[in-house]
Amino acid sequence: MEFGGTTSWRAVPLCLALVVALQACLCSCATAAPKTYIVQMAASEMPSSFDFHHEWYASTVKSVSSVQLEGEEDDDPFARIVYNYEAAFHGFAAKLDEDEAERMAEADGVVNVLPETVLQLHTTRSPDFLGISPEISNSIWSAGLADHDVVVGVLDTGIWPESPSFSDKGLGPVPAKWKGLCQTGRGFTTANCNRKIIGARIFYNGYEASSGPINETTELKSPRDQDGHGTHTAATAAGAPVPDANLFGYASGVARGMAPRARVAAYKVCWAGGCFSSDILAAVDRAVADGVDVLSISLGGGSSPYYRDSLAIASFGAMQMGVFVACSGGNAGPDPISLTNLSPWITTVGASTMDRDFPAAVTLGNGANITGVSLYKGRRNLSSQEKYPLVYMGGNSSIPDPRSLCLEGTLQPHEVAGKIVICDRGISPRVQKGQVVKNAGGMGMILANTPANGEELVADSHLLPAVAVGESEGIAAKKYSKTAPKPTATLSFAGTKLGIRPSPVVAAFSSRGPNFLTLEILKPDVIAPGVNILAAWSGDASPSSLSSDRRRVGFNILSGTSMSCPHVAGVAALIKASHPDWSPAKIKSALMTTAYVHDNTYRSLKDAATGKASTPFDHGAGHIHPLRALNPGLVYDIGQDDYFEFLCVESLTPMQLRAFTKNSSKTCKHTFSSPGDLNYPAISAVFAEQPAAALTVRRTVTNVGPPSSTYHVKVSGFKGADIVVEPSTLHFTSSNQKLTYKVTITTKAAQKTPEYGALSWSDGVHIVRSPLVLTWLPPM
C-alpha cells in the first residue's frame, strides 16, 4: 500500500478530535447493530457459584442482554460468545449492541470493553548480510541445546507446508514441552505438519462475526496460505536452507531463515477482508498456551492508548509468560509519528535495505541514462537498439491526475498503445499500474517515485517491461517526455548486483517516531532488512498478488516492515537458543545495545526518503547485529512489575491499570516518578518545564559477560545540555551481577529540535550502546 503526504505532530490532536466528532455524528445517525467486542475480565473475581470461567462469561453476557440478535431463535448467551481467552488474556469476545457494551463495562468483574478493530499486513541474502553463516547458526543449535528447542509462532496468513523451506530434515522429535496441534481443514491435513511445522491453527470467529461467513469456494478455511505473506514471514524467521532459490533468476542463492533449526507454529489470523483483533488476541492467547518462545506479528493498525490496545494487552500477557514479541512498526513512513505497536514490552521493528539490488536502466532518446530497479522477467523484451515512443499522461499541475497514476480505466489505447508509459507511484499497487498499461496496449512502464517515496527503490516482478526510478530521475524523464518533439526511450535489465553502497539505508516507507504515546520510550527499537527480501511463497498466489497474474513461483521478493519483523524474531530465537534462561527484555536489550548506526561506507546511516542522515526516530537503536547480540556483555533487564510501574505513571486510572494485572489486588508502588525511569535500553529525556531544569535518569545493567570485568562510559557531546554519568566506571566481580548508574542532564541552551547522541559502556571487547535523545517541548 502506498502512503503519501506529510503530517505535523502538532496537528495530531486536532485530527483525532475531528475523527472522533465525525464518528460520533455517524453513530448518532445509525441504528446500533450488534458487533464484536472484546471483554477483559478479572479472573480472580469469578463468583463461587460458577465452576468454570466460560459459564461466568455467558452469565455476564445474559445479564446485559437487551434484545434478541437477528437470526437467532433464542438469545443463548453461549451463542453470542465468539471466543474465550485464558492464557495471555482473561476474558471473552462477544456480539453486543452499543447499549449492551455500555452495560457490560459496568458489570461486576469486567475490566475492559474494547471494540473489534481490523489490522492490516505490513507488507536469501539477509542471513549473510547480517553475518549469520551456516556454520555459526549450526553451532548455536548444537546437540547440547536439544533440551531448549525454540518455537517461533507466526501470526499471519497461514503457511504453505510443501515449501522446501519447511523441510524437517535433520531435526529431532517435537519438543516435549509443546502443547500445540495441527488443525485440519480443506487443503490441510495433519500430514502437512512435521518436525519443522509443529503447529498450525486458524482463527476466524471474529472475522465471521463481523463480516459474515467466509466464502469457502474461494478461500480455504484451513492453515494453508493462499496469500503468500505468512509463508514468506515464517520462512524469513526460521526457514530451512534451500539451495538455488531465486525469483525468475533474481537473487539466486541459498534461502535460509534467521534461525533455520527453530520450529515453526503458524497461526492464521488474516483473511481476505483483513485481520480482526479478536482473532489476533485468540491466536496470541493460544500460542502462549501452546508453548511458543517467540512471536512474530507483522500486523498493525492505528495506535491506541495502551489500555485500549488489545494487542498491547495480549503481548503484555505473553511477556509475563516469558514470550518475546516482535511486531512490525508499519509502512506509513516517511511521515513522522506514524509508528504502530508502541508498547515498551513489544520489540518494534523498522525496515532497511541490504547490499543487494536488482539494477535496471532507462535510456532516453536524448542519450540520458536513468538507473532504476526491476524484477521483470518475461517473454516481452524491449530491444536496446530500438527507441520506443515515450508518454506521460500527467500535466504540469501539482494536482494528481488519475492518468498520471495509471489507475484502472484511465489510459486509452489510442494514447499509449506501442509506447513506454511513465506512471507516478501512489493510490494503486505498483504492479497493477503495469497491468493497466499492458491492457491499454503499452509496451513498457517507467514507475516514478513521488516526494512521499524520495529516492528509495523497491523492485517488483512486473507483468510487462518496467523500471522503477527515484523521484529526481522521474522528474527528469517526465520533463523530457513533455519537452522533446518526439520523446523516446528503451528499458534494459541487469539481473542481481551485490556490494551496493551505501547500505543499509532506512527504508522511506518505514514508519517513524517519535512515540506519541510516551516520548520517553524511544521507538522504533531497531531496524532490520525489509527491502527486496527473498523467501518462500505460496503455490496459490502469483508473485504480484494480482488475480490476473497466472505465474506461480516457489520464492518471492517482498518489501515492508512485515519482512523486517521476522528477521528480528528469528534472531531472537537464536539468542533464546543460546541463552534459554533470558527474559524477553534481556533479548531485546541485546538486540538494541549491539545495533550499529553506520553503513558500509563508515558513515552514519542514511534515510532513503531524504538522502540525509537518519535519526533514532527513524532507526531506533540502529541496525541489528546478530553475532554481537549473542554476546552483548551487559543487558538492561525489565520485569513485569517494572512495566506495571511504568503504566502507573502513564496517568491510567485504577480500572485501566487492571487491564494489565491478573491479580485484581495489585496496586502501584509509585517507585517511578516518570516513564523515563523504566530500565529501557534507550534513553529519551524530555524537558517539559520552562525554564528547563536538570533531569536525572537511572539505569541498571546486568553482567552477562566475563564474571570479572570493568566497563568505562563514553557519552556524546550535546549543544543543549551537559551530561554527567555517575559512576563513570562499573566494576563487575560475578556473573549476573547488577550495577546501577545515574545520568544527570542539565540544560544549558534549550534546542528547538531534538538532539541525538549515545551513551556507551565498553570493557575493551564489548560496546554496550544506548541511543540518547534530548527533547525540549515548546511552551504551552
Grid cell locating 542:
502469483
Is 532 contained in some domain? yes
pLDDT higher than threshold 90 for residue 406? yes
Cis status of the peptide bond prior to 691, with omega within 30 of 0:
yes
CATH code for the domain of 107: 3.30.70
The candidate with the shortest Cα–Cα distance to 241, out of 127, 154, 374, is 127
Domain range for residue 454?
359-493
Three-class SS of residue 254? strand
Average pLDDT over the chain reads: 90
Note whether 374 and 402 are same-domain residues.
yes
User: Can you tell me the mean pLDDT for 729-739?
Assistant: 98
Closest CA to 347 of 523, 155, 533, 150: 523
User: Whose grid coordinates read 455517524?
Assistant: 26
In the block, residue with C-alpha cell 448467551: 77
Catalytic residue (one of 122, 229, 567, 619)? 229
Same domain, 460 and 524: no
Residue 631 resides in a domain: no
If asked whether residues 156 and 184 sit together in one domain, one would say yes
Q: What is the pLDDT of residue 174?
A: 96
- The answer on 693 and 548 residing in a single domain is no
Residue 39, in any domain of the structure: yes
Q: Which of 301-305, 522-526, 664-668, 691-695 has the highest mean pLDDT?
A: 522-526
Rg over CA atoms, the chain: 27
SS3 399: coil
* Mean pLDDT of the region 73-83: 79
> Which of 32-36, 750-754, 756-760 is the least confident region?
32-36
Mean pLDDT on 606-633: 96
Whether residue 345 sits in one domain with residue 363: no
Mean pLDDT of the 122-150 span: 58
Domain closes at, from 581, 609, 642: 581
Q: Domain of 179: which CATH number?
A: 3.40.50.200
Strand order through the sheet with 270-271: 270-271, 274-276, 118-121, 299-300
Find the largest Cα–Cα distance for the chain.
87
Whether 283 contacts 311, CB under 8 Å:
no
Query: What is the per-residue pLDDT for 72?
Result: 46
Per-residue pLDDT band for 143 (boundaries 50, 70, 90) equals: very low
User: Looking at residue 419, what is its pLDDT?
Assistant: 96
Alpha helices in 45-158 (DSSP H): 53-64, 77-80, 98-106, 125-129, 134-140
Identify whether the C-beta of residue 606 lies closer than 8 Å to the C-beta of residue 614.
Answer: yes
Is 240 inside a domain boundary? yes
Assess contact for 97 and 75: CB atoms under 8 A.
Answer: no
Please count the structural domains in the chain.
4
Domain contains 662? no
Q: Which DSSP state fits 604?
A: B
Which strand ranges, in their side-by-side order, compose the sheet holding 91-96? 81-85, 91-96, 35-41, 110-115
Separation between Cα atoms, residue 610 and residue 341, nearest integer Å: 25
Task: Tell me how far apart the alpha carbons of residues 25 and 32 are, in angstroms, rounded to a whole number.
Answer: 13
Contacts of 618 (CB under 8 A, 6+ apart): 333, 334, 350, 506, 510, 512, 513, 527, 607
Looking at the structure, do residues 428 and 308 belong to the same domain, yes or no? no
List pLDDT tens digits, range 18-36.
333 434 443 443 445 789 9
Do residues 95 and 182 share a domain? Answer: no
Provide mean pLDDT across the span 102-127: 82
Predicted pLDDT at 28: 40
Cα-based angle 19, 22, 26 (whole degrees, multiple of 5)? 135
pLDDT of residue 131: 63
The count of residues in the chain is 780
- Tell me, yes or no, whether 611 lies in a domain: no
Q: What is the pLDDT of residue 460?
A: 94
- State the helix-helix crossing angle for 229-238 and 561-578, rounded to 10 degrees: 30
Strand 526-529 and strand 347-352: pairing?
Answer: parallel
Half-sphere exposure of 13 (CA within 13 A, CB side): 2
Given a cut of 60, whether residue 538 has pLDDT beyond it is: yes
Q: How far is CA 166 from CA 15, 145, 192, 238, in A?
A: 45, 21, 10, 8
Query: What is the spatial distance between Cα 260 and Cα 137, in angstroms, rounded to a whole number?
Result: 7
> Is-contact 352 529, C-beta < 8 A?
yes
Mean pLDDT of 290-306: 92
Using the predicted structure, report yes or no on whether residue 179 has a pLDDT greater than 70: yes
**pLDDT exceeds 70 at position 8:** no
Residue 54 · residue 85 · CB < 8 Å: no
DSSP annotation of 603 reads: S
Cell digits of residue 43: 479472573
| Cis status, amide bond into 771, omega within 30 of 0 | no
What percentage of the chain exceeds 90 in pLDDT? 79
Name the pLDDT band for 4 (thresholds 50, 70, 90): very low
Is 277 in the same domain as 329?
A: yes
Shared domain for 186 and 63, answered yes or no, is no
Q: Whose CA is closest to 616, among 423, 494, 756?
A: 756
DSSP 8-state class, residue 69? P
> Are 555 and 519 part of one and the same domain?
yes
Report the range out of 74-78, 127-131, 672-676 with the highest average pLDDT: 672-676
Query: Measured between alpha carbons, how far is 572 from 391 in angstroms, rounded to an integer?
Result: 49
If you ran DSSP here, which 8-state letter would residue 779 be given? P
Q: Kindly report the CA angle at 553 between 122 and 331, in degrees rounded to 5?
A: 10
* pLDDT one-digit tens code per residue, 195-206: 999 999 999 999
The residues that bridge with 528 in the sheet, in sequence order, are: 351
What is d(CA 51, CA 481) in angstroms, rounded to the nearest whole number? 76
Kindly state whether residues 251 and 150 are assigned to the same domain.
yes
Q: Which long-range contacts (CB under 8 A, 24 or more apart) does 310-313 make?
A: 310/38, 310/89, 310/114, 310/117, 310/277, 310/278, 310/280, 310/281, 311/119, 311/277, 311/280, 311/281, 311/284, 311/341, 312/341, 312/342, 312/343, 312/346, 313/40, 313/89, 313/112, 313/659, 313/660
Among residues 560, 581, 602, the one where a domain terminates is 581
Question: pLDDT (tens digit, 9 = 90+) per residue, 489-524?
Answer: 999 999 999 999 999 999 999 999 999 999 999 999
Q: For residue 88, what pLDDT is reported?
A: 87
Please check the confidence at residue 137 and state whether its pLDDT lies above 80. no
Active site residue 229: yes
pLDDT of residue 10: 34
Confidence of residue 427 (pLDDT cuts 50, 70, 90): confident
The three grid cell numbers given for residue 562, joined into one nine-digit string: 512485515
Active-site annotation holds for 538:
no
Residue that finishes a domain, picked among 581, 606, 628: 581
How confident is residue 127, by pLDDT bands cut at 50, 70 and 90?
low
Inside any domain, residue 288: yes
Q: What is the DSSP letter of 746?
A: E
Task: Report how far apart the first and last C-alpha atoms of the chain are (Å, whole number).
Answer: 37
Angle between helical axes of 640-648 and 310-320 (0-180°, round to 10)? 150
CB 427 within 8 A of CB 401: no
List the grid coordinates of 143. 546437540
Confidence of residue 69 (pLDDT cuts 50, 70, 90): very low
In a domain, residue 594? The reply is: no
Give yes or no: 670 in active site: no
Number of Cβ within 10 Å of residue 652's Cβ equals 17
Q: Which residues contact 421 (CB under 8 A, 6 or more apart)?
A: 391, 392, 393, 406, 411, 437, 440, 442, 444, 445, 446
pLDDT value, residue 66: 77
Give 354's contacts (C-beta < 8 A, 6+ positions apart). 125, 126, 129, 500, 503, 504, 529, 531, 532
CATH number at residue 729: 2.60.40.2310
Q: Does 313 lie in the same domain as 174?
A: yes
Q: How many CA atoms lie within 13 A of 398 on its CB side?
A: 2
Confidence of residue 676 (pLDDT cuts 50, 70, 90): very high
Active-site pick, 562, 578, 684, 709: 562
Could you say which of 156, 309, 335, 525 is catalytic?
156
Residue 526 has pLDDT above 50, yes or no: yes
